[in-house]
Amino acid sequence: MITTKKGKSGANGTEVSYNTTTQFQAGFLRLPDTQKEYGMGWNGKYAFVNGKGGNGWYDDYGYVWGPKLNEPDPTTPSGFKEYPQYNSPYDPDQLFSFSQKGETGSSHYKPTPWVSKGQDNLKNFLNNEMSTTHNVSLAGKTDKSDYRISVSHTYQKGQVPNTKLNSTSLSVAGSLKITEKLRAEASVAYNKQFTPNYPETGYGPNNFFYNILLWMGPDVDIRDLSNYWKPAGGRDNGSGGFIPYGQKDLQQFNYNYSWYNNPYFLANEFQKSYTNDVIVAQANVTYDFTKDLQLLVRTGATTNNVFADTKTPYSYINYGTSAAPKGNYRIDQNSNLLIVSDLLLTYKKTFLKDFSATVSVGASNRYSQAKTSF
């Protein structure tokens, strides 16, 4: 059973009210700790060749047990160990040499300092949340009736970049004493929720926490990924071949091109929106044959309609698909209807001071309907 607010209590008259609330998130009390001693890779080895496991240097691995970070090396310009990384300067005409654990390798990505840069990746990625609510209501009462009309809107800015939620509600409720024995009540409430984009949860490369906390090493500064497109263009490799830098607005830029998506690419290009419309209505009539015998007739209906669409961009990565799919667009629609009606005849009688009896006889009907399409 759903009970809605009724008209104003107390003296007869009309009352108009408005209220608003705004909340800001000041910060985070605590964020999960992750190890910051080792960078991406496996068994103390890592070098970025192409982000897909090129030449066995573990640049496609999700493990964070590569070379130790912040290790001094007086032979390098930076004074630290230097290895090719995802954001290193790229030169298709030159191969840069490096060595790890007695092995030598080469990459078109220039070695840069292997130091810890991503100690606060989750904190640097998330926004401070904000929500605001406005509500206007009109309520009135007479000797035989009361009513209430309310309109409210809530806006919420999400912690994940480019996420937000809007919710608008309208409700009308009233009651009427038709005669001394006959009374009627009715209410209807409508709510519309809309979000152009919301974060995904669960296991997989679409989950921001999964990406950042579990698989992103401290050698990656997430702020470097905010410009999430690879630069356009490319150069001849000197042997009649062409080495592309990327395709602007098509190929995402990331530290790994086998298993994970750039979090900013996900937030801005992998768009999941939905609209949810809900209507809840009810009406009931009560008739008192005598002070002991009462008839109640009531009916209520609930409808729920959800429209959701998912825009998957080119170069999006998901488990079970290729590393550079061509994108997709999907629509899901769900609608549900529930109607419940009751007829109840109740007899209440007090025979003695401490003895009473209640007898009820009734009937109920329930109708439901559900539709799904995609």
Cβ count within 10 A of residue 353: 6
Do strands 182-197 and 355-373 pair parallel, antiparallel, or not at all (unpaired)?
A: unpaired
Q: Which residue has the higher pLDDT, 152 or 245?
A: 152
- What is the pLDDT at residue 247? 66
Q: What is the CATH number of the domain that holds 154?
A: 2.40.170.20
Q: Which residue has the higher pLDDT, 352 or 128?
A: 128
Domain count for the chain, please give it: 1
Give the CB-side neighbour count of residue 49, counting CA atoms within 13 A: 18
Kindly tell me if the per-residue pLDDT of 189 is higher than 80. Answer: yes
Closest CA to 4 of 105, 149, 210: 149
Report the SS3 class of residue 205.
coil
Contact call for residues 129 and 157 (beta carbons, < 8 A): yes
- Say if 282 falls within a structural domain: yes
Closest CA to 195 of 166, 160, 168: 166
DSSP characters over 139-178: EEE-SSEEEEEEEEEEEEE-SSTT-EEEEEEEEEEEEEE-
CA distance 189 to 17: 18
Q: How far is CA 311 from CA 163, 274, 314, in A?
A: 15, 12, 10
Please report which confidence band the pLDDT of residue 245 belongs to, taking 50, 70 and 90 as the band edges.
Answer: low
Tokens 């005409």 locate to 93
Tokens in use for 177? Answer: 């004493």
CA distance 298 to 317: 53
Tell me what the mean pLDDT of segment 246-265 comes to. 86
- Say if 148 falls within a structural domain: yes
- Say if 147 falls within a structural domain: yes
- Say if 5 falls within a structural domain: no
Amino acid (one-letter) located at 82: E
Q: Which residue has the higher pLDDT, 311 or 230?
A: 311
- Say if 121 falls within a structural domain: no
Q: Which residue has the higher pLDDT, 1 or 45?
A: 45
CA distance 85 to 255: 8
CA distance 338 to 344: 20
- Say if 140 falls within a structural domain: yes
- What is the pLDDT at residue 280? 98
- Say if 177 falls within a structural domain: yes
CA distance 262 to 222: 9
Q: Which residues contact 278 (CB under 8 A, 6 or more apart)?
A: 190, 191, 192, 193, 302, 303, 304, 305
Tokens in use for 268? Answer: 């801005």
Q: What is the pTM of this model?
A: 0.82
Domain of 364?
13-29+127-201+270-373
- What is the pLDDT at residue 2? 41
- Say if 187 falls within a structural domain: yes
- What is the pLDDT at residue 243? 52
H/E element, 336:
strand 328-352
Kindly tell me if the per-residue pLDDT of 334 is higher than 50. Answer: yes
